Structure formats: C-alpha cells, structure tokens
Amino acid sequence: KREYTTEFKQKAVELSYARGNAAEVCRELGLNPSVLGRWRREAKKYGENSFPGKGNPKLTDEQREIAELKKKLRDVEIERDIPRKAIAIFS
C-alpha cells in the first residue's frame, strides 16, 4: 500500500481540477482513479482540513471549534470540581 503526503494529495486534486481531466492526471501520477476521486470528494467536503494524517479525524472548521470548546469545558469543570472535592474531604 502506497502512502502519499498531504502536499501530494492537495497538488493532485488541484491539478485534476485545473486540467479538467482526472483520468489523465491519474495516468501521469500513477494513481488509481478511485483514489483521486476520493481525494477530490474529501477536499470538497473538508476544504483545507482534508488529509489530516494517520489517525487524525477529518473535521470541518465548525466541528474542530466544537471539539476545542468541549475540551475547554471539560477542563473548566475539572477545575471547578477540585475545590468541591477538597471541601468534602476536609469537612
């Protein structure tokens, strides 16, 4: 199984749109047309958040912001609960 860099994927997608002929780009780059098709769909759906790397989820800007806010909320809840637990222990 071949692995491609994020930059390669982005350039391949850009090239396929610029030329308007994805099959030709696939032949030149040695890609399976289904692979380039998947990359194009991902680029269209996720924009600059496409191709995040191994194990990292593809998120839209809104999804990424929601995840960050949820993490901040968890951190604040933990900070809030520490004094409550300390009071309960020492009471």
Domain parsing of the chain, residue ranges: 1-58, 59-90
- Check the CA dihedral 17-18-24-30 and report its sign: negative
Using a 10 angstrom Cβ sphere, with 0-12 exposed, 13-18 middle and 19 or more buried, the burial of residue 25 is buried
Please check the confidence at residue 47 and state whether its pLDDT lies above 70: yes
pLDDT tens across 51-61, in order? 776 666 677 77
* Residue 64 pLDDT: 80
Helix (H) / strand (E) element for 30: namely none
